[in-house]
């Protein structure tokens, strides 16, 4: 019988190829012992993690300045050195293994789509540091492999340099309380991946898989709920294709990130039904 508690503690690291060889072999044995239904769930979790890391790492494919790679790698591996002594980042990167997955089903109140899938990265202190550093390293590895900088869409803040925005994403991914959520948008509008950190007071979001695109004169709008008496705009996201990662600053007391469809240019307050709600 598979040890699903152990598997849950290691599946994210397996998805990004950040386990030791012995741990990797054990994950494969545990997967082989699952029922057909359980196996499909874990394979889906691995796929979602790999997709989220690729989206967060790549953003727009740009020519990255050499100093960006140095800055982000220095941050990731200095964080590793300061964290748990048993952290293993000798093999960071997106796994090409044939087993896919993502997340615990901690659940923000999603709307009429599928329930959101959540990866809390804080189950235990040592595991928390290990996962955060490994995920950060995996994101960097993907970005370097693509020859890409990480360009973050920002609708209200001043333009940032590529190095600065890459550092912001790295800080969010490496935060000890980072959590990743994948949620389906209603009406088959796609999925949103959100990595949030209360300690960093930031989140980064990516909308992808938009099989039912919205009209050209409309846009997705993100909203922070709980920060104020009424929803606070957290930025606009293009309604076609896969969006660039969007950094969301100043989460403060926000408890939920919601998504609606609004006219181009956005709205002062939501004017349509919420497509999904993601717990922060």
pLDDT number for residue 182: 80
Can you give 132-195 as a three-state secondary structure string? HHHHHHHHHHHHHHHCCCCCCECCCCCCCCHHHHHHHHHHHHHCCCCEEEEEEEHHHCEEEEEE
Is residue 202 scored above 90 in pLDDT?
yes
pLDDT number for residue 57: 56
More confidently predicted of 164 and 83: 164
pLDDT band at 217; cut points 50, 70, 90: very high
pLDDT number for residue 158: 41
pLDDT band at 13; cut points 50, 70, 90: confident
Phi, psi of 19 (to 5 degrees): -100, 165
Long-range contacts of residues 63-70, Cβ cutoff 8 Å, at least 24 apart: 63/147, 63/149, 64/143, 64/144, 64/147, 64/148, 64/149, 64/162, 65/149, 65/162, 65/163, 67/163, 68/149, 68/162, 68/163, 68/166, 69/140, 69/143, 69/144
pLDDT number for residue 109: 43
pLDDT band at 172; cut points 50, 70, 90: confident
Find the angle CA(112)-CA(274)-CA(171) to the nearest 5 degrees.
105
CA 176/CA 172 separation, integer angstroms: 9
Give pLDDT tens digits for 64-113: 455 555 555 565 555 445 554 444 433 333 344 444 444 443 444 444 44
Give pLDDT tens digits for 271-280: 999 999 999 8
Mean pLDDT calculated for residue range 153-175: 58
The mean pLDDT value of the chain amounts to 71
Percent of the chain with pLDDT over 70: 58
pLDDT band at 1; cut points 50, 70, 90: confident
Q: How far apart are the first and last CA of the chain?
A: 34
Token pair for 35: 């029922």
pLDDT number for residue 91: 37
CA 191/CA 110 separation, integer angstroms: 12
pLDDT number for residue 163: 55
Mean pLDDT calculated for residue range 12-37: 86
Domain borders along the chain are: 4-279
């Amino acid at each position: 019988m598979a040890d699903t508690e152990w598997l849950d503690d290691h599946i994210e690291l397996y998805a990004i190829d950040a386990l030791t060889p012995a741990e990797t072999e054990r994950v494969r044995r545990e997967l082989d012992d699952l029922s057909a239904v359980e196996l499909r769930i874990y394979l889906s979790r691995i796929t979602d993690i790999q997709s989220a890391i690729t989206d967060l790492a790549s953003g727009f494919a740009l020519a990255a300045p050499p100093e960006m790679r140095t800055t982000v790698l220095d941050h990731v591996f200095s964080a590793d050195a300061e964290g748990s002594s048993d952290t293993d980042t000798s093999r960071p990167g997106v796994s090409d293994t044939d087993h896919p997955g993502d997340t615990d089903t901690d659940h923000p109140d999603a709307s009429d789509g599928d329930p959101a899938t959540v990866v809390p990265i804080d189950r235990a202190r040592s595991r928390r540091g290990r996962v955060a550093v490994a995920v950060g390293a995996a994101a960097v590895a993907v970005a370097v492999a693509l020859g890409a900088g990480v360009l973050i869409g920002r609708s209200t803040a001043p333009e940032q340099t590529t190095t600065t925005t890459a550092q912001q994403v790295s800080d969010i991914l490496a935060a000890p309380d980072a959590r990743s959520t994948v949620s389906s948008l209603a009406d088959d509008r796609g999925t949103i991946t959100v990595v949030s950190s209360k300690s960093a007071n930031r989140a980064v979001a990516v909308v992808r898989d938009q099989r039912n695109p919205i009209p050209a004169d409309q846009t997705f709008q993100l909203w922070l709920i709980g920060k104020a008496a009424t929803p606070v705009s957290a930025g606009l996201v293009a309604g076609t294709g896969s969006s660039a990662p969007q950094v969301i600053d100043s989460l403060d007391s926000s408890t939920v990130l919601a998504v609606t469809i609004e006219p181009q240019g956005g709205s002062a307050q939501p004017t349509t039904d919420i497509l999904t709600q993601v717990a922060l």
